[in-house]
Amino acid sequence: MKSSILVVRALSWAAVLSGCSGSADPSSSPSTGTSAATDSADVTGELTMAPVTGGLAGEFVLASRTVKFKAVTEQGATDVTVDVDGMTLTALIDSKSQVGDLDGFASANGGDTQITDDDRTVLTAFNHAIAANVAADKESQLPPEAKLLTRMADLWADTPSSAPLTRQVLGQENRSYTSICSQYQTWQYATHDDWSYDDWSANSTSISLVGSRWGGSTWYWVNGSWTSATQDHKAYVYEAGDCYGRCGADCSSGDQVLTSDCNNHDQCVRNGHSVASMWCDDEFSACIDDFTFAPSCGGTSQD
């Protein structure tokens, strides 16, 4: 890193999510659709990063919330630690061997804990701030640990409240994860299961435009026009926007990680369930190796 300390004003969510408009069937644009949802909150924070031996460290301040972080590589494995107001999240990742250990616990006593809606809000803002700097880093001033830090922040920001934070991760393409970079901006089926429907049942299956940004909402093609009113298990509805299929909460700067499992998880949380819902825990669990090891898809950034 050329500069010893980097301090930036994090981009607002609205700016980060504005993106570009897509163009695809069944309609060229959702601009004429009706919206029942508000735009993403205009949330800003301040990110401070500095080099340390083997990586980087710093903090992110959002209103009264503070995230302290460190990502350091030793002996081929990168150790990521993120502290969020009494909760510690850790990831020890060997990217070459594609193995990792994740953990999360109460900082004071090491006891079990969960990620709450408030935690997801600050973690998502933190992730956007880190990702924006990684995407803007044209001269390799940031160490490679910054990219892994972004992936882990993406993972934790998308973690359901009911999902365990302690687990091992193994990655192997086409076995544990399936990249869909080649399906960027194409329509693909996605599905989930719950107590009412099995995978691939009509009411738990929809057709998503992979990777499309279409401005800070998911859009649904209903009765001949686009709407951002969330559809509850509507059979085979077309859906686009908000980076469908991306491993991460909503959109972010830079190239996307797009996989089949993340496409299914997005389909679950946008069709009658929520990120905090236990109904999408199995889809989320299938995504963890995708978040960690699946390749970024070149040409899918917001630029």
Residue 32 lies in a domain: no
Contacts of 175 (CB under 8 A, 6+ apart): none
| Between 82 and 303, the higher pLDDT residue | 82
The reply to whether 150 and 206 lie within a common domain is no
The reply to whether 86 and 120 lie within a common domain is yes
The reply to whether 120 and 257 lie within a common domain is no
- Interatomic CA distance for residues 169 and 71, integer angstroms: 18
pLDDT 10s digits, 235-278: 999 999 999 999 998 888 889 999 999 999 999 999 999 887 78
Give the domain extent around 72.
6-21+40-170
Q: Among residues 104, 135, 170, which one ends one of the domains?
A: 170
- How large is the average pLDDT for residues 14-37? 39
pLDDT above 70 (res 62): yes
Q: Among residues 117, 143, 170, which one ends one of the domains?
A: 170
The reply to whether 159 and 185 lie within a common domain is no
The reply to whether 146 and 193 lie within a common domain is no
Residue 194 lies in a domain: yes
Residue 240 lies in a domain: yes
pLDDT 10s digits, 102-151: 999 999 999 999 999 999 999 999 999 999 998 888 777 889 999 999 99
Per-residue confidence (pLDDT) for residue 212, from 0 to 100? 93
Tokens of 66: 């503070």
Among 80-94, 167-181, 287-301, name the one with the lowest average pLDDT.
167-181
The reply to whether 186 and 156 lie within a common domain is no
The reply to whether 127 and 187 lie within a common domain is no
Q: How many CB atoms lie within 10 A of CB 113?
A: 17
The reply to whether 61 and 166 lie within a common domain is yes
pTM for the full model? 0.83
| Between 295 and 303, the higher pLDDT residue | 295
Residue 243 lies in a domain: yes
The reply to whether 46 and 152 lie within a common domain is yes
SS3 content of the chain, % helix, strand, coil (to 5): 25, 30, 50
The reply to whether 165 and 204 lie within a common domain is no
pLDDT above 50 (res 39): no
Per-residue confidence (pLDDT) for residue 173, from 0 to 100? 66
**Contact of 257 with 291, CB cutoff 8 Å:** yes
Q: How many CB atoms lie within 10 A of CB 136?
A: 15
Q: Among residues 170, 198, 220, which one ends one of the domains?
A: 170
Among 117-126, 148-157, 210-219, name the one with the lowest average pLDDT.
210-219
Per-residue confidence (pLDDT) for residue 26, from 0 to 100? 54
pLDDT 10s digits, 176-200: 799 999 999 999 999 999 999 999 9
- Interatomic CA distance for residues 37 and 35, integer angstroms: 5
The reply to whether 151 and 194 lie within a common domain is no
Domain count, the chain: 2
Residue 62 lies in a domain: yes
- Interatomic CA distance for residues 119 and 286, integer angstroms: 22
Instruction: Please provide the DSSP assignment of 184-209 as one string.
Output: TTSEEEEE---SS--TT-GGGEEEEE
The reply to whether 191 and 241 lie within a common domain is yes
